[in-house]
Structure formats: structure tokens, C-alpha cells
Chains A and B, each alone.
Chain A
Amino acid sequence: MEFHFSKHLEDRVAVVEIPKYLSADVSEEFKDFLYEIVEKGNHQIVINLSRAEYVDSSGLGAIVSRLAYCRSLKGDIRLAAPSEFMSSLLKITHLDQVLKIYPDTDAAISSFTT
């Protein structure tokens, strides 16, 4: 599967789009994709959740799989545009207390300027 990402704020912030369905069959691939982006030196990452209709536990695990690493390098993984389903998933797992979540991608990108 192909995943999309783009660079913003003079290439300092990478925005990664998650697919419509992020479950066990693709989550490993997504995790590898995220690893690759991080290994290339991108440590300020926005994950755009707007397309996500279904994310299971493995998908959720993939989203946060480089969180400690990015934060240890003064970067972060931030979320944008969660659906109602995603918001509820983040609440159940208490990840809403750990991750910074923004209503849209622009707000998430500009959060890295402050």
C-alpha cells in the first residue's frame, strides 16, 4: 500500500496521511513507512486522521510507534482532524492525554511554530 506524506514549514514538519482503514493487514507497512520518515530526520510529524474510518489496536500502535524517539529529539507526533470514532478510540486508550490533538492539519502544523 502507498502512504502519502508532505513537508511544510520549510520542510520542518512532515504531514502523514493515514489510510481509510488502518488495521492488522497494513499497520506493519505503515509502521515501516513512519520509521523510514523518522530515520530521514523528520522528528516533527503531524498525522492527518481525516480519512480514517477504521483503526484497530495494531493501527493505533503504529501511529505511536516512534513517539518516544521523536520526543527524545525534541520533536513530536501530533494528530489532526480525528473523526468521532478516532476521538473515542483515543479517549478509551487515554492517548488523548499523551498526544496533542488539533481540529485540522493547519492547526497541527502551526503548533510546531510555538
Chain B
Amino acid sequence: MKDFQFKPSKFHLLEADYRRSPFQIPSDTKKDIVQKLRYLYGEEEAERNYPELERVIQVYFSYKSESMLNWEKAITGSQYFSEKDVILITYGDLVRDDTKSPLHILAELCKKYLKGVFNTLHILPFFPSSSDRGFAVMDFTEVDPHLGSWEDIADLKDDFRLMFDGVFNHISSKSQWFQEFLNQNPRYINFFTVFSTTEKIPPDYLKLLVRPRTSDVLTAFDTLNGKKFVWTTFSPDQIDLNFSNPEVLIKMIDILLFYVRKGADLIRLDAVTYLWDEIGTSGAHLEQTHIIIKLFRTILDTVAPHVALITETNVPHEDNIKYYGNGHDEAQMVYNFALPPLVLHTFQTENSRKLMEWAATIPIISERATYFNFLDSHDGIGIMAVKNILTRDEIEMMALKVIENGGFISYKTDSDGMVSPYELNITWYSAINKEDKRENIDLQVKRYIASRAIALVVMGVPGIYLHGLLGSKNDAESVIEEEQTRSINRKNIKKSELIRALLDPDTTTYKVSYQLATLIVKRTHQEAFSPNAAQKVIKVSEKFFTVLRTPNERNKSILCIINVSPKEQLFSLDLQQFALPYKKWEDIISGKKISTVENGLQLKVEPYGIYWLKPLI
């Protein structure tokens, strides 16, 4: 994204300016929106609901300042992401002390240590929530007072771009909306997908559902009018919203635009795969869901073109990339779910073949859309994306090695009623390194940084979870205490302990965070790492991951070489073959100069060594 030219926290007015004429939706856009509404709800409902949607859009527009409107003109149509974009993923309260609000502490730490390293912060759901660490939202428009306030969010806005979660698939059972449903308030009766009995639903229909959990999809609740069975994809506390009701859709668009007003530059559509609930279907990535995301995109492109959508869909890779639409009309970023398990497989087996084969198939999406390259997040390492890339045995062995390294596995129910692994729960450091007192810590850190380097060089925007930046190890004790396998990678850290670790060169935290931050900073200065720079995977040996990234100016190319094995390896490449006639190269990581020998590059690469080679002109 282009740099902001003025204080982004002042982007939006505190009160709507109704002295200006209301925003007129361009006729083509109106046509497009109505067409989408027709697809979802039919002609009559589309006509009936459009005026309310238009009102919501106009209200949002009235909050935009004049200076923001001027700034927007410069960004429209330009490349959306660049090499400067690196996203830190964190909970609002991962770091705590007793004196200040967690969001205030986060702002302090990020401003002091992470400016120039990350330019975007993904603060995981910071709304009042009743379970699932923020993902059972009780009120979409409030900041959880235990975390801080909207002022704390605004305070971060001048230094970082912000990514918010749109947890739109479901709402907490403790939310006012659902409580009103239990009260049978007519306004909320159709906000949820409800059955008065389960008898009318053929068991075969329920089996068709693709779900990331093993719990029952229908949860019984007692209401004013008796027992009702409610659609709950994730848990009995997370009630699916009924998007087949246009009022729900418009309400969520209102919330989407509210987040933009509050400073969101990216909106992560959580669990969006399951948005549209329909009995007799798989319930996953249905066409209606894609249309809704496209509708969000149309609206944002019209009134908030600086805001990007990112979809989180832990599904097979070929389904995952469908969320780009045609590259211009749906998500601007898609979580690259295949990357983490393939990198893990590479380091477990010390063999990059599967990763390289897959990476060679990854195309540029469009000027304004790219991959979100993450290895770890608050959730586990999803394995659905590699279902058709790794063999069943390879996936099973990967999971068993995760268990050996102190991790766990989460399961889901398949359409045949069988239970199968869904994600691996482990910190990235523990996934990559076995707790083995016989192994030198520096070798473990090198292995870790090498794995991270892959996610920094492949096409896309990198995202790093705070525990990944710190090289945190498993917190298995919390798994048992909280009875939740995902707790293994969600440990809260005391600010004083974190600072101590960051100042002690002997700690893993110090070694990992400084080395990783150094790599990131170097990356942000290279056009070759722009998401739109071409990517060519070069198969030299299965002991290396080798990729050539080439921006518009060829002499700014970077040849990335990563040794994925614990042994020194000889790297040899005929550069002529790749139209790289340069005789001298510089490793931008170490500053080392390298000369070619008869147009060939020959290097002895130390265990888990990394080279980012740039032509010296």
C-alpha cells in the first residue's frame, strides 16, 4: 500500500457531515449491487432492500473528511501491496502488565521496537466476547474494556496500518441479538438459521456438511416459544448468522463500514467459507458466499478503496484461491494455507521437492491481489490445503512428528461421518525444532530462521504471529488447563519478562527476534520482494529452496537460496540458463560479494544457510 501523507487517525470525522450532499452511488455500481442482491434474494427482495443498503453506504460516506477524499484519488487504480507490507498478527492482550491496558502496552511496544519492521498490525478480535478467545463476539461495535478502548486503536493508527477481524459468520450466544431471538423478538427471529425440530432434516443432509468441528451442527435452545434448534458451525456459543435474511447482510455491511471508520485498512473475513448456511449442501464455499464477498468488495471499492479484504479459508488450495474471484472482484488477499504445512514438511524431511513443485505453480493473481504468506497464527497449522498436494502418509507422518514435538491435532467430521485431522496445534518454533537438549540452540535458531526465510521470499505479503517473532515454545500446560488444543500457541506474556528476554543475547527470544527482524527490514528495501515481482522456482537440489524474484528492472532481481538441511551443501547453478549475465553478486544479508566462475555460481552453503543474492552492477 502507498504511504499515507497525513495523520490516518484523522481519516474519518467524529460525526457525519450532512451539510454535504449525500453520496450518489454511480449507476454502474448500483446495477452491480442490485444484481448481486437479486442473485441472493430474488428480484422483489432486492428492490425492497436496496434503498436501505444505499442509506448505509451514504451514512458511511458522510464520515469521510475532505482530506481523505483527496488522498483517495491518488490510490485508486494503483498497485495495492508492495514489499513494504509485512503484517504482525497478535491478540490485543498477548503482552500484559498490571499498570496499563493491554492495547496501550501493545502500542508502546510496537512503536518502540517494531516500527520499520512491520507496517501493519493485525489485532485479533478485540471486541467483547464470550469464548474462543475473541471469536464469539457479543458486540461488534465495542472494544472489550479489558483490552482498552477505541482511543487505543486510534493511537496505533498513525504508525501502523490496521487489520481488523470481521467475524461475520457467527455471533455469541450471549449477544443481545441472540438473547432477543430467545425472547422471540420479531426483529431477530430471522437473524439465525433455526429449525423447530430435527426430525425434518434427513440425516444424509447433515452428513453432507463440511465442518471444521466434530460437535453437532444444530444446538438446542429454549426460547419463549419452546425449544428451537439453531445452526452452530463452530460451537454452541457461536451462533451462525442467517445471511439468507437480507437484513442480516445489510447489518453486517454497516458493521464492515463502521470498522473502516474506526481505522481498518484490511478486514479479515473470519471463517468466511461457512457464511451461507443451506441444508442439503456442503455448507462450505457456496456460490452465495462468494457473491457476498464480491458485494463487500464492490462497496469498499466504491466508498473506501484503500481497504482490502482478506479471506481466511482453511480448505483445499484449489478452493482457497477461488476467493480471489477473477483477481479483481473478490478478496485482495487469501491466507496461503498450503504454505505452512509444505514448509514444515520440507524441514521435517530435509527435502524441498513438494514445496518447490507447488511454489512453481503459483501465479501472480493481479496488480491488486496477492497471497498472505503466513506460517503461524493464533490458530494451528491448517492441513486441509495440502490434502491434494501431500500424500495421506506424508500428512500422517507430519502430524505424528508434531505430536513427538509436543504438539496436538484438531479434528473435523467429514461428509462420510469419519473424523480426520484438520489442523496441527503447535508453535512454529516447536514444530520446526524438537525439544532436544543434545541439539545446539544456535542450530535450532538457524533452522527456524531458514524456515521463516521461505515465507519471506515467496510471492505475497508476509504475516508473522507475535509468538513466531519471539520464537515461543509450546505452552502445553495451558492446553490442559483451558481444555483447548489451540491454547498451545496463545500464551500471555508479562511485559517485564518479555523485555528481559529481548535484552538477553543468550535467550531464544533474543536470537530469533533480532535475526528475523533484520531479515524483514532487508526485505522491505527490495523491489524484488514486491508481490508483483515475477517468481521463478529453480530446482537445483532437494536440499535447497531456490527462487528467483524479478521486478520490472531485471538488475534488481534477487536469487534466494535456502539450505533446508542440517549439513553443508554445495550449490551450483548455470546463470546463463536463466538470462542472468551478471558476474558479480552481493548477498544482501551478509554483505558478502560473490563472483561467478564461467557464468556459474558455486557456493558452499552452511547448514540452514540463507543467501539473498543481488547483481552488483
Contact = CB atoms under 8 A, between A and B. Distances in A.
B410 A94 contact: yes
Contacts of B296: none
Interface string B486-508: 00000000000000000000000
Contacts of A58: 476
A66 B399 CA distance: 13
Task: Decide if the interface of chain B is mainly helix, strand, loop or mixed.
Answer: helix
Contact of A94 (B400, B408, B435): B408
Nearest to B425: A94
Contact of A68 (B403, B411, B480, B483): B403
Contacts of B435: 61
A28 B437 CA distance: 10
Contacts of B409: 94, 97-98
B151 interface: no
A64 B403 contact: yes
Interface in B467-524: 476-477, 479-480, 483, 485
A72 B406 CA distance: 18
B404 interface: yes
Contact of B479 (A28, A57, A67, A68): A57
B397 interface: yes
Nearest to B419: A97
Contacts of B437: 28
Contacts of A60: 476
Nearest to B410: A94
A93 interface: yes
Q: Of residues B400, B403, B435, B476, which shows the largest number of chain A Cβ atoms within 10 Å of its Cβ?
A: B403
A110 B411 CA distance: 28
B558 to A, nearest CB: 36
A61 B483 CA distance: 16
Contacts of A57: 406, 476-477, 479-480
A64 B485 contact: no
Interface string A39-82: 00000000000000000111011001111110110000000000
A63 to B, nearest CB: 10
Nearest to B478: A57
Contacts of A56: 477, 480
B480 A67 contact: no
A89 interface: yes
B480 A64 contact: no
A95 interface: yes
B583 interface: no
A26 B400 CA distance: 23
B543 to A, nearest CB: 20
A92 interface: yes
B411 A94 contact: yes
Contacts of A28: 437
B19 to A, nearest CB: 59
B401 A68 contact: yes
Contacts of A64: 403-404
Contacts of B479: 57, 92-93
Contact of B480 (A72, A93, A97): A93
Interface residues of A, number: 21
B404 A67 contact: yes
A61 B406 contact: yes
Which one of B406, B411, B485 has the highest number of Cβ atoms from chain A below 10 Å of its Cβ? B406
Interface string B120-153: 0000000000000000000000000000000000
A28 B436 CA distance: 10
A69 B400 CA distance: 9
B408 A68 contact: no
A67 B403 contact: yes
A92 B408 CA distance: 10
Interface string B364-401: 00000000000000000000000000000000010111
Nearest to B421: A97
B439 to A, nearest CB: 13
B400 A71 contact: yes
A89 B404 contact: no
A68 B434 CA distance: 12
Nearest to A91: B483
A94 B480 contact: no
Q: Which has the most chain B C-beta neighbours within 10 Å: A68, A72, A89, A97?
A: A68
Given A56-B477, A61-B406, A92-B480, A72 B397 contact: yes
A67 B476 CA distance: 18
A93 B409 CA distance: 8
Interface string A76-114: 000000000000010011110110000000000000000
A96 B436 CA distance: 25
B589 to A, nearest CB: 33
A61 B437 CA distance: 15
Contacts of B400: 67-68, 71-72, 98
B585 to A, nearest CB: 40
Nearest to B396: A71
Nearest to A69: B404
Interface string B435-452: 101000000000000000
Contacts of A69: 404
A64 to B, nearest CB: 5
Interface string B407-442: 011110000000100000000000000010100000
A63 B311 CA distance: 38
A64 B403 CA distance: 7
B485 A93 contact: yes
Nearest to B475: A57
Contacts of B403: 64, 67-68, 95, 98
A74 B477 CA distance: 31
Interface of B: 397, 399-401, 403-404, 406, 408-411, 419, 435, 437, 476-477, 479-480, 483, 485
A-B pairs, top 4 by smallest CB distance, nearest first, are A57-B476, A68-B400, A61-B406, A68-B401
17 contacts: A28-B437, A56-B480, A57-B476, A57-B480, A58-B476, A60-B476, A64-B403, A67-B403, A68-B401, A71-B397, A92-B479, A92-B480, A92-B483, A93-B479, A94-B411, A95-B403, A98-B399
Given A65-B404, A93-B479, 14 more contacts: A28-B437, A57-B406, A57-B477, A64-B403, A67-B400, A68-B404, A72-B397, A89-B480, A92-B483, A93-B408, A94-B411, A95-B408, A98-B400, A98-B403
